Structure 1
């Protein structure tokens, strides 16, 4: 290797790909196969009992196992384990297409910013649903590419907050593929998990809200997803997403209000 090539390799920013998962043996291998462009792959496994550890090790990933009941804590553990200059966070049900991988490499080589959002294309089964995501039940972009040390997750059980150090850069052009739900039944099960985890957060804060307030949120979130975010363009799929987005805070309130002892023990989104 010439000195010039060696210097160029030394100056090239290192990229860590981070996957945080729990019992995802059915989807983990497919995810990791799309992350081979990264300089290292770190897989954090939370209370995992299936073959995920073996699958991750066979893919060349560094595996960290432990128990983190709070989502923000396990994601922060993953960030701390990464050694790259930049970190790309990917979930087991997501895939990085080649065009996005190339763009990420290009961005981190020249970016002066601390973090970037990545567009996301959401699939329910094999059906691509482009419009209507929102209301904490889905999103059209995710802040997943950041410099090491620029990002910290909050301690919520579901949809943890984010604290940033540094300036946000332009959104990337290519999308991350997200197989968010296998089918409608899977979507309903996710709504149940999310609302239980949210109920636990509400109880822990001592702020469960009111029925009237959450009924208003149901209407506003449904409107936001189905009308403002053009969920109507997806037909019945858009209606279903808007319905779940509206029900999410309402169900969380009702669980915290009517079953406090059950949910005080702590629900989980995964």
Structure 2
């Protein structure tokens, strides 16, 4: 239900997420508007978004950054909360968002992310482009611009970063199980290989081996993945393998991953 104070738009960018979209959109009802961007979706996602009363933008975008920028442009709120279809925003966090946007003089804020694999909450060890526990997803309209990449595109900001919302977190159902996590690694590394080939800079094997090892150390030791037992080790291995697999796919199978000319 719309409320007094700055208007907040909730933005969801998805592709064939009919199974997850209903719960996501239900959690966004406290927003002043919901905008859903569907990228080449062929399932019932559009009907689900319309039934929820969302503003719908359908199209086909090769780059993740492009489709996210299109969604941001479609939002009319003073502030935007950008979430994915596998994320749920609890009511307590909405109360924090309303209070913060009413007083903030900053351009953007990071929000706590609670990552679940199945029904297991995993608090430690995320990082290395394979997961995070804080994301800059609450921002003023016009403050955030995504760069043109296929996976984990960079960000350009206007304005300063404000306090972080950490009292309550977004529930992120990041993977259903171990097999789902490995499929995500395969999907991400293929998209990253296309980005590397498009840039003409795929790097060297020794450099990417070093990146692999440093990310494993970062996630398992410095970010305390060891506290999660075998799950922490698995996440660290996936985070480390991401740049190495991306490099190897670009180097060994360029014909499979080279992006088509526009």
TM-score (norm 2): 0.97
Contact 2:197 2:259 in 1 (8 A): no
- The equivalent residue for 2:122 is 129
Could you tell me which residue of structure 2 aligns to residue 223 of structure 1? Answer: 217
Contact 2:198/2:259, CA 8 A, preserved across alignment: no
Tell whether 2:211 aligns with 1:199.
no
Q: How far did residue 11 of structure 1 move? A: 6.5
Secondary structure, counterpart of 1:157 in structure 2: coil
Corresponding position of 1:145? 138
TM-score (ref. length: structure 1): 0.94
Aligned counterparts, 1:139-178, within 5 A: 139-173=132-166, 174-178=168-172
Corresponding position of 1:73: 66
The CA distance in 2 between the partners of 1:141 and 1:179, in whole Å, is: 15
- The runs of 5 or more residues in structure 2 that have no matched partner are none
What is the SS of the residue equivalent to 1:195? helix
Q: Structure 1: give runs of 5+ residues left out of the alignment.
A: 1-8
Does the alignment pair 1:254 with 2:245?
Answer: no
CA–CA distance in structure 2, aligned partners of residues 261 and 86 of structure 1: 42
Which residue is 1:100 aligned to? 93
The answer to whether 1:239 aligns with 2:233 is yes
**Please, what is the CA RMSD of the aligned residues?**
1.1
Equivalents in 1 of 2:62, 2:231: separation in Å?
32
Greater CA drift, 142-151 or 170-179: 170-179
Q: Computing the radius of gyration over CA atoms, which structure comes out larger, 1 or 2? A: 1
| Deviation of the 1:10 alpha carbon | 9.3
After superposition, the C-alpha distances for 1:235-257 in whole angstroms (9 at most, x for unaligned) are 00000000000000000000000
Runs of 4 or more, structure 1, over 6 Å off, are: none
Counterpart CA distance in 2 for 1:85 and 1:258 is 47
Query: After superposition, what is the alpha-carbon deviation per residue over 1:116-175, rounded to whole angstroms, capped at 9, x for unaligned?
Result: 000100000001000000000000100000000000000010000000000100101221
Q: Deviations over 1:99-118 (max 9, x none)?
A: 10110011111111110000
Q: How far apart, in 1, do the equivalents of 2:136 and 2:255 lie?
A: 35
- Paired position in structure 2 for 1:112: 105
* Equivalent residue in structure 2 for 1:52, among 45, 54, 58: 45
